[in-house]
């Protein structure tokens, strides 16, 4: 089985909005997601959790109103963020993550996870580790295409999205579409895991870039 | 005494049991609760099934209606799943619009139907571009004791297998559809998806078929849906404890075994019902 | 990792080889660092800093204020309820300020504080599980600079927490250099709020702008920037 081992060019910009506590724009090829984080801030009485922060993800599609499918995405994204954020450090508060889709041309879920992660980091919300997500598509012939665009997604027999933690590279989140064999699953998983390391090291570069001025000042 | 301990220290209570490789309800870690299936319990529906997985109870009714296919896909009918979690089934649900949990499970059901191809939408077409079937699959939870996803999938599959659709012809004179109630045909079920849910406790213990209590304490949940040709058609792990490759493979193997058992159960039940 | 001091670290990084204090053989972990079992983990992205003998922390660009005991903040009085005022300090919850926590205040003699007033106060209680509590007196009962900020002609603005910390550090020139050229009064709250007042409104705005734009500048750049501003001010 051959693998197309390259991700599309990706990039991000941090701290581009003035009002939120943290914001980021993450781009993978043409797919772009804008994420904003507010928090830890005041929480609604009904949503207050006594021993940890309440995490909320608001997923804004490009057009139309959010429906059932968006609620499902929100839940996946919320649980993903919950497993890396140290929510117990800010009890009885709320952390809101807003994800606005700017453009969807494939691999949307992984782009959302990456954008949310950079925005959380930008807001300096305490985290256990980072999370990096990669999508791959399986073609009819069984070839793995990493970071597919919408055309490749449409032509594929299955699309798999994985989110990995940056410490041990284990699977935090997995969401799939279409049918595939367990062998194909394992192969896609290891291909995505390798690719996720690129994204993790990119996160570090992004922070270095953001902090570059301070790094220069003190040395 | 044990009850007090459980209320005060639920996590510690579970830890004590799990150290001995047993769960508080007496099951082993990989053991699944007893599954009971009743087919055709709703006579007014085209197909129905009642499933009990331990205490968790879900009833699924399928109602078929005639409608017009969309202009984009003139050869395809529709399958519309909906999961209802009423206040009746658990105190955690309030009356009013569908809860987030209900919406999430409904969406997961829609994804499973689409990914597995359990019913080919082309089979639901009667006259291309003019007339097709729409199957409303309503799953109602009667008792919520964890693992509703697995229960819903079993009830959905059994109910779909139970569906009988009358033959429809389009009258040449008037152009109206005419149904022939005497001649009923079963639906062509192409795949048999079965879901298996795992809970992760304390980032370490992996248990199958979690109860409501276990789901609340779990640090992660994983659902795997497999079909009879040993393919995976949905792998849903929304966050939680990170899992390694080998543990995921272990889960996949267990899911494949479990799916075999469930398919056998559905097959036996259907054969035992006289039609 | 003594060698990663001054370098960028991201959440999940494991640090080791800390230099402990010689007397107590202990290491103090500041904001952004967390101990988990035997390991020390990073929880925020930023630059690892070290101060002799044994203090380590992460310098990051945080905008949200997390209250810490003993810090000086500027708050806005939002509600008067019973014998406390509720004060917004930009944290997750409003802080409380007792009416007795002012210089010379007694049960009879209440301080003159109105809703909407700015107060410069010190955090007496700051704990993640409790409401933050403010006081406007020191331990001797004197105001020592704390109290209600008079509402005649000053200006309060928000900046990043990072800038405030930079301004307050002894080797930063903003306030020193600015003060030599334009006389002004200021109160700096570590919650990212700065209040300034100069002789005229024009001067006040110049001072506020100079402070707000100095975030990413070195001392030399700050001096040039302030000189340019002053030249503009005097009409060159």
According to the 3-state scheme, what is the secondary structure of chain A?
CCEECCCCCEEEEECCCCCCCEEEEEEECCEEEEEEEEEEECCCHHHCCCCCCEEEEEEECCCCCCCHHHHHHHHHHHHHHHCCECHHHCCCCEEEEEEEEEECCCCHHHHHHHHHHHHHHHCCCCECCCEEEEEEEECCCCCEEECCCHHHHHHCCEEEEEEEECCCCCEEEEEEEECECHHHHHHHHHHHHHHHHHHHHHHHHHHHHHCHHHHHHHC
CB B152 within 8 Å of CB B146: no
Contact C129 A121 (CB under 8 A): no
Going by pLDDT thresholds of 50, 70 and 90, the confidence category of residue C3 is low
All structural domains of chain C with their residue ranges: 7-59, 71-148, 155-235
List the single residue in C with minimal CA-CA distance to A200: C10
Give pLDDT, residue A219.
Answer: 43
Give the model confidence (pLDDT) of C30-52 as tens digits: 889 999 888 899 999 999 988 88
Distance CA A19, CA A41 (A): 13
CB A96 within 8 Å of CB A129: no
The verdict on whether omega for the bond into residue C53 sits within 30 degrees of 0, i.e. cis, is yes
C contacts of A39 (beta carbons < 8 Å): 64, 92
Q: Describe the strand order of the beta sheet including C155-158 as a list of residue ranges.
A: C155-158, C193-198, C184-189
Give pLDDT, residue A2.
Answer: 46
Predicted model pTM: 0.92
Going by pLDDT thresholds of 50, 70 and 90, the confidence category of residue C19 is confident
Q: Chain A to chain C, count of Cβ pairs less than 8 Å apart?
A: 97
Q: Which other chains touch chain B, taking contact as 3+ CB pairs less than 8 Å apart?
A: A
Give the model confidence (pLDDT) of A83-105 as tens digits: 999 999 999 999 999 999 999 99
Contact A130 C34 (CB under 8 A): no
Q: Looking at domain C155-235, which CATH architecture does it have?
A: 2-Layer Sandwich (3.30)
Distance CA B14, CA C10 (A): 35
Chains A and C: 3 or more CB pairs within 8 Å of each other: yes
Considering only CB atoms, A186 lies closest to which of B117, B243, B249, namely B249
User: Which is it for strands C33-36 and C55-59: parallel, antiparallel or unpaired?
Assistant: unpaired
Which residues 6+ apart lie within 8 Å of C47 measured at CB? A211, A214, A215, A218, C6, C7, C8, C9, C58, C59, C60
A174 touches chain C (CB under 8 A): no
The token pair at A177 is: 């579409």
Q: Which CATH number fits domain A3-218: 3.40.50.2000, 3.20.20.140, 3.40.50.620, 3.30.230.70?
A: 3.30.230.70
Distance CA C143, CA C104 (A): 9
- Interface mutation target, options A91, A124, A132, A210, chain C, most CBs of C under 10 Å: A124
List the single residue in C with minimal CA-CA distance to A205: C8
Distance CA A6, CA C6 (A): 33
Give pLDDT, residue B133.
Answer: 93
A contacts of B107 (beta carbons < 8 Å): 68-69, 71-72
Burial of residue A206 (CB within 10 Å: 0-12, 13-18, 19+) is buried
Task: Indicate left, alpha or beta for B9 from its phi (over 0: left) and psi (-120 to 50: alpha).
Answer: beta
- The answer to whether residue C5 scores a pLDDT higher than 90 is no
Task: Indicate left, alpha or beta for B14 from its phi (over 0: left) and psi (-120 to 50: alpha).
Answer: alpha
Q: Find the range with the poorest average confidence among A183-192, B245-254, C52-61.
A: C52-61
Going by pLDDT thresholds of 50, 70 and 90, the confidence category of residue C172 is confident
A contacts of B233 (beta carbons < 8 Å): 178-179
For residue C157, report the phi and psi dihedrals to the nearest 5 degrees: -140, 165
Q: What is the DSSP letter of B275?
A: -
CB C142 within 8 Å of CB C101: no
Judged by DSSP in three states, B17 sits in: helix
Q: Which CATH number fits domain C7-59: 2.40.50.100, 3.40.109.10, 3.40.50.970, 3.30.70.100?
A: 2.40.50.100
A contacts of B236 (beta carbons < 8 Å): 174-176
CB A164 within 8 Å of CB A171: yes
Q: Which other chains touch chain A, taking contact as 3+ CB pairs less than 8 Å apart?
A: B, C
- Interface pTM (ipTM) of the complex? 0.91
Domain C71-148 falls under CATH 3.40.30.10: no
Give the model confidence (pLDDT) of C73-114 as tens digits: 999 999 998 889 999 999 989 999 999 999 988 888 888 899
Share of chain C above pLDDT 70, in %: 98
List the single residue in C with minimal CA-CA distance to A90: C128
All structural domains of chain A with their residue ranges: 3-218
> In which residue ranges of chain B is pLDDT below 70?
274-275
Helix (H) or strand (E) holding C221: helix C219-233
Distance CA C128, CA C133 (A): 12
Distance CA A133, CA C34 (A): 25
Considering only CB atoms, B116 lies closest to which of A173, A179, A185, namely A179
Tell me the nearest-neighbour CA distance from A174 into chain B, angstroms: 5
Give the model confidence (pLDDT) of A10-19 as tens digits: 899 998 998 8
Listed by number, the residues of chain A in 159-198 with a beta carbon closer than 8 Å to a beta carbon of chain B are: 160, 163-165, 168, 170-182, 185-186, 189-190
Q: Whole-angstrom distance between the N-terminal and C-terminal Cα of chain C?
A: 52
Tell me the nearest-neighbour CA distance from A181 into chain C, angstroms: 33
Tell me the nearest-neighbour CA distance from A125 into chain C, angstroms: 7
List the single residue in A with minimal CA-CA distance to B241: A172
For residue C164, report the phi and psi dihedrals to the nearest 5 degrees: -60, -45
CA distances from B275 to A54, B164, B272 (A): 52, 10, 9
Judged by DSSP in three states, C188 sits in: strand
A contacts of B111 (beta carbons < 8 Å): 177
A47 touches chain C (CB under 8 A): no
Helix (H) or strand (E) holding B199: strand B194-201
Q: Do domains C7-59 and C71-148 have the same CATH topology?
A: yes
Mean pLDDT of chain C: 89
Distance CA B218, CA B241 (A): 9
Q: Give the side-chain half-sphere CA count within 13 A for B235.
A: 31
Give the model confidence (pLDDT) of C121-154 as tens digits: 999 999 888 999 999 998 888 888 899 998 888 8
Q: What is the DSSP letter of C26?
A: -
DSSP lists the bridge partners of residue C29 as: C56
Which domains, ranges and CATH numbers included, belong to chain B?
18-272 (3.30.230.70)
């Amino acid at each position: 089985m051959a693998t197309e081992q390259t991700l599309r060019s990706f990039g991000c910009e941090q701290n581009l909005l003035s009002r939120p506590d943290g914001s980021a724009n993450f781009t993978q090829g043409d797919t772009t997601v804008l994420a904003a984080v507010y928090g830890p801030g005041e929480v609604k009485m009904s949503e207050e959790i006594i021993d940890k922060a309440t995490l909320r993800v608001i997923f804004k599609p490009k057009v139309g109103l959010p429906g059932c499918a968006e609620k499902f995405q929100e839940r996946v994204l919320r649980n993903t963020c919950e497993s890396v954020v140290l929510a117990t450090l800010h009890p009885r508060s709320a952390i809101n993550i807003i994800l606005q889709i700017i453009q969807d041309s494939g691999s949307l879920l992984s782009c959302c996870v990456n954008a949310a992660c950079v925005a959380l980091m930008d807001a300096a919300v305490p985290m256990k580790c980072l999370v990096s997500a990669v999508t791959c598509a399986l073609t009819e012939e069984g070839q793995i295409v990493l970071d597919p665009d919408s055309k490749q997604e449409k032509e594929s027999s299955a699309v798999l999205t994985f989110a990995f933690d940056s410490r041990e590279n284990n699977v935090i989140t997995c969401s799939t579409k279409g049918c595939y064999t367990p062998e194909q699953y394992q192969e896609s998983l290891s291909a995505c895991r390798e690719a996720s390391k690129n994204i993790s090291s990119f996160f570090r570069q992004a922070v270095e870039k953001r902090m570059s001025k301070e790094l220069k000042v003190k040395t | 005494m044990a009850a007090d301990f459980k209320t005060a220290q639920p996590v510690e209570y579970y830890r004590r049991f799990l150290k001995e490789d047993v769960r508080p309800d007496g099951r082993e870690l990989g053991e699944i609760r007893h599954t009971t299936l009743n087919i055709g319990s709703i006579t007014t529906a085209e197909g129905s099934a009642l499933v009990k997985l331990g205490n968790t109870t879900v009833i699924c009714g399928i109602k078929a209606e005639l409608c017009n296919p969309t202009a984009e896909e003139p050869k395809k009918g529709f399958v519309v799943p909906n999961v209802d979690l009423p206040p009746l089934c658990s105190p955690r649900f309030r009356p009013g619009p569908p809860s987030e949990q209900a919406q999430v499970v409904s969406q997961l059901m829609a994804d499973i139907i689409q990914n597995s191809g359990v019913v080919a939408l082309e089979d639901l077409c009667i006259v291309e571009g003019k007339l097709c079937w729409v199957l409303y699959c309503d799953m109602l939870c009667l008792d919520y004791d964890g693992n509703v996803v697995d229960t819903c999938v079993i009830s959905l599959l059994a109910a779909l297998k139970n569906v009988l659709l009358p033959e429809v012809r389009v009258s040449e004179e008037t152009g109206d559809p005419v149904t022939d109630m005497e001649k009923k045909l079963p639906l062509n079920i192409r795949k048999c998806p079965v879901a298996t849910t795992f809970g992760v406790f304390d980032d370490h213990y992996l248990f199958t078929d979690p109860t409501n209590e276990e789901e609340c304490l779990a640090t992660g949940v994983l659902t795997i849906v497999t079909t009879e040709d040993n393919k995976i058609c949905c792998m849903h792990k929304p966050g939680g404890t990170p899992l390694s490759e080998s543990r995921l493979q272990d889960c996949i193997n267990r899911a494949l075994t479990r799916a075999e058992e469930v398919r056998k159960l559905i097959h036996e039940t259907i054969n035992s019902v006289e039609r | 990792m003594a060698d990663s001091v001054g370098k960028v670290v991201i959440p999940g990084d494991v640090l080791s080889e800390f230099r402990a204090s010689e007397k107590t053989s202990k290491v103090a972990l500041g904001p952004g660092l967390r101990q988990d079992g035997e390991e020390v983990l990073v929880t925020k992205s930023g630059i690892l800093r070290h101060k002799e003998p044994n203090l380590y922390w992460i310098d990051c660009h945080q905008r949200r204020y997390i209250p810490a005991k003993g810090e000086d903040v500027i708050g806005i009085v939002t509600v008067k309820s019973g014998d406390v005022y509720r004060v917004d300090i930009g944290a997750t919850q409003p802080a409380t300020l007792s009416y007795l926590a002012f210089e010379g205040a007694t049960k009879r003699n209440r301080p003159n504080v109105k809703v909407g007033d700015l107060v410069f106060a010190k955090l007496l209680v700051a704990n993640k599980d409790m409401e933050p509590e403010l006081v406007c007196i020191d331990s001797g009962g004197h105001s020592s600079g704390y109290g209600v900020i008079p509402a005649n002609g000053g200006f309060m603005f928000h900046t990043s927490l990072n800038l405030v910390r930079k301004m307050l550090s002894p080797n930063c020139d903003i306030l020193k250099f600015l003060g030599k050229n334009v006389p002004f009064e200021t109160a700096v709250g570590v919650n990212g709020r700065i209040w300034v007042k100069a002789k005229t409104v024009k001067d006040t705005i110049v001072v506020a702008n100079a402070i707000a734009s100095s975030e990413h500048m070195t001392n030399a750049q700050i001096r040039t920037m302030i000189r340019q501003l002053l030249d503009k001010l005097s009409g060159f």
